[in-house]
Amino acid sequence: MMSWVITKSLRLVYVLFVSLLSFIPPGYTEPVAITGAGAHFAWVIFDDLKDELEESTSKKLQLYGKNSNLGMGCNAGIKLAQKHSHAHPTFGFVCCSLSQQELNQKKIKIYPLAAEPILILVNKKNPVENLSIDQVRAIFRGDITNWNELGGWNKPIAVITRLHCKKRPGHWKTILPTAGEFTKERINVSSADEMVKMVTKFETAIGHTGSTWLFDRSSNVKAVSIDKVVASAKNLKNKSYPFYRTLSAVTAMNPSEDLLTIIKQVQHGKSFTAVARKYKLLPLGSTVTKE
């Protein structure tokens, strides 16, 4: 009896499956997904706008870059962009500027999205709330080594750095222009996630990361103001906040129309205003952020 019930149930499932197939139009193919990957900081922008971008192109977006996981970063974004084909459209996210020489050499195009403030991070327990630009640079050079030189604790400063993409302009180079100028008495980390964890762990630490980083409750860090100027789009625009980098998308030389639609919608769409305000970004397209 039980065997008969199971057989009947299986037949019913089969009939339903065949019925569903009859509703699929002849020649129908699953829409080709568009894949994007790379640096977390530019990934955030596309991820926040993902639903809207999928609706505008009727294409599914597969985006990889949260916490720059799975080895993702600027180089991974560039490599993925180079693999683009109309059968499998791909693009990348980068958080560093690329020279024209590199663009030509790698046969890629770049689409600037926004200027992102680089936050100077300290532990929340640190009583210091503001540093001058000269003090920040002196700390990272190793000229200032104790917080008491800045009106804080009598404790040595632990310098945490992430000096990625050393051959590319911009990013951490707005703090000091070359890796060789940073103190040798530093801890260099390989990811923004590790950076935040180190500044959280050591109450005397100082570090740096982009404003689009997704801080959680375990992130016991704060951003100090620079010459009493806070990190914001407005202060990037009037050039009173000194540390920043450019977030961009990159594609192959002949990207698909759907991919171009997605990038242009981010560059110039009104919805990016809310995203930019959320992460303190200065849009580099036609969108204007008001604060």
3-class DSSP assignment, residue 49 = coil
d(CA 209, CA 282): 16
Average pLDDT, the chain: 88
- Crossing angle of helices 40-48/272-279, nearest 10°? 140
Which residues share a beta bridge with 35?
Answer: 62, 90
C-alpha separations of 225 from 135, 137, 229, 230, 236 in Å: 12, 14, 5, 5, 13
Pairing relationship of beta strands 34-38 and 61-64 according to DSSP bridges: parallel
Low-confidence residues of the chain: pLDDT under 70 = 1-31, 68-72, 285-291
CA proximity to 35, closest of 82, 98, 96: 82
The CATH superfamily assigned to 116-237 is Periplasmic binding protein-like II (3.40.190.10)
pLDDT tens readout for residues 84-118: 998 899 999 999 999 999 999 999 999 999 999 99
C-alpha separations of 188 from 76, 158, 194, 282 in Å: 20, 11, 10, 28
pLDDT at 32: 74
Architecture label for domain 34-115+245-283: 3-Layer(aba) Sandwich (3.40)
Domain boundaries, the chain: 34-115+245-283, 116-237
